[in-house]
Amino acid sequence: YELFQRMARRQPGSVKDMLLWFADGMKLKASVLGQLWLTLLTFCWLLLYVLPATFIGSMTGSVLLLSIIIFAAMLLGAAEVLLYTPGAYMLAEEPSRSVTECFSAARQGMKPYKWKFFGFYCLYILQLLAVVIPFALVIVFVPMSAMMVSLVTLAGSSAAYLLIVPRMHMGCICYYHAVFGLEVAGPDDPFTM
């Protein structure tokens, strides 16, 4: 996250800086704890929405309706989890803060922008799907050996991670900085809330 934050502020940064960031034990600990906390929050929110949806959907007797209800519940859970994503960036900036403090502050700050941020994040998910689906169609419709399937899958995944994921992190950092009133890229930056 540190590298993306430097890039968002138009400061020089390199992969070496990112690796040096992990050399600091406190920052590494904060990063690992933050990811574990985010995973736990994701599991809990999805469980909170999916269990009742499964119970309600199973009473309908229709598999299609059950699937739609569970999908809607998962979308609601994902929207709740997205409120916590700036917590990881906060931890990267201030690893001395506690994990729960960062994620609580992130949730409170992002609450008014929940659906706006969800739509923003969905754009990146659609871009990922637009890159990966053509490779999946090649695998389905073109007969090839297992090695070729692996290469096609690797090409699709690599394209997605090299082209879209860095832009997604940059976009999230800019969004988070704009919401919390932090410097994004300079005073003349057109990105405003």
128-185: pLDDT as tens digits: 888 777 777 776 776 666 666 667 677 777 777 777 877 887 788 878 877 887 765 5
pLDDT at 44: 92
Q: CA 101 to CA 95: how far, in whole Å?
A: 11
pLDDT at 5: 67
Could you read off the pLDDT of 61-94 as tens digits, one per residue?
A: 888 888 889 889 988 898 898 889 888 888 877 8
Does 87 reside within a domain? yes
E strand map for 35-158: none
Does 189 reside within a domain? no
- Domain total of the chain: 1
3-state secondary structure of 85: coil
Residue indicated by tokens 């007797």: 61
pLDDT at 62: 86
Does 70 reside within a domain? yes
Q: CA 91 to CA 28: how far, in whole Å?
A: 10
Does 192 reside within a domain? no
Residue type, 120: F
pLDDT at 113 over 80: yes
Could you read off the pLDDT of 20-52 as tens digits, one per residue?
A: 766 777 777 888 888 899 999 999 998 999 889
Does 143 reside within a domain? yes
Does 27 reside within a domain? yes
pLDDT at 191 over 60: no
pLDDT at 101: 92
pLDDT band at 190 (very low <50, low <70, confident <90, very high): very low
Does 166 reside within a domain? yes
Does 191 reside within a domain? no
Q: Provide the 10 A C-beta neighbour count for residue 76.
A: 17
Residue 70 belongs to domain spanning? 2-179
